[in-house]
Amino acid sequence: MTNIKSIIDTITSAPADVIDKNILLRQYPEPVVRYFRYHLPDGFPSHTFAKTPMKGIIKLVNWANFKSVLYSHPFIGFLWQAKVMMGILPIKGYDYFFKNQGAMSWKMFKLIPVMSASDENVTRSAEGRAIMESLFAPHLLIHPDINWEAVSEEEITATWTVFREKEPLHLIIGKDGSLKSAFINRWGNPGGVKKFNYSTFGVHIEKQIKYKGTLIPGKGNAGWWFGTEKYKDGEFFRFEVI
């Protein structure tokens, strides 16, 4: 597996885009412009990545408390480092997508392996998640390699390829441009089925916060089978930015 320090170093040292974002904005459909105006109230911030501390609960066997840090960049990937408390037992580890590889590794007491995976299916699933995690860096989504379209006044899509997945990210926005929810067709095996396939994965945004000059998801819940009756079984992640 990739060295975790190298992932953090690469994401946090990403160079600034040499592009005129004002010109790109003028080319976008009005609902897309509305989204960016809401999420970038102070203009274009200078930081070139997102580092987002979180806390919440995650559903493994049962719901468990976690604290974590997310590093993300829409064209590099993501790293999610967390400490999860299974009762009184601490489990530490990470998920990532980086240099066209996805992987996870979780250990109890930093020694006893709990879960690890890095195969083809994990990579494909992690790439879909990398696209979702870019919601925490809205200022980096104004880019010539991202195709923005308006489905309606309240639904916009962003399509770009980190490695090879080509599924568009759907954003549901309010009349003011605020983000209400987002979803993507993501490769995975929700419910633990053996056969991997595309399923809808999404996040409900309960609150947005201003963080380093941008409005980002501040509280929400995420899971599989988003937008269907099965979401009550597919939801496995509730978070709050700290």
Question: Do the domain assignments include residue 4?
Answer: no
Question: Do the domain assignments include residue 231?
Answer: yes
Q: For residue 36, what pLDDT is reported?
A: 98
Question: Do the domain assignments include residue 58?
Answer: yes
**pTM summary value:** 0.96
Q: What is the mean pLDDT of residues 100-116?
A: 92
Question: Do the domain assignments include residue 110?
Answer: yes
Q: For residue 92, what pLDDT is reported?
A: 96
Question: Do the domain assignments include residue 26?
Answer: yes
Question: Do the domain assignments include residue 55?
Answer: yes
- Identify the bridge partners of residue 103 per DSSP, sorted by sequence position: 96
Say if residue 111's pLDDT is above 90. no
Say if residue 1's pLDDT is above 80. no
- Kindly report the CATH number assigned to the domain that includes residue 44: 2.50.20
Domain residues for the domain of 43 are 18-241
Question: Do the domain assignments include residue 5?
Answer: no
d(CA 205, CA 172) in angstroms, rounded, equals 10
φ, ψ dihedrals at 60, nearest 5°: -100, -100
Q: What is the mean pLDDT of residues 152-158?
A: 98
Q: What is the mean pLDDT of residues 119-147?
A: 98
Question: Do the domain assignments include residue 1?
Answer: no
Looking at the structure of the chain, the number of domains it has is 1
Kindly calculate the radius of gyration of the chain based on its CA atoms and give it in whole angstroms.
Answer: 17
Matching residue, tokens 């040499």: 18
Could you tell me which of 181, 183, 195 has the C-alpha nearest to residue 224?
183
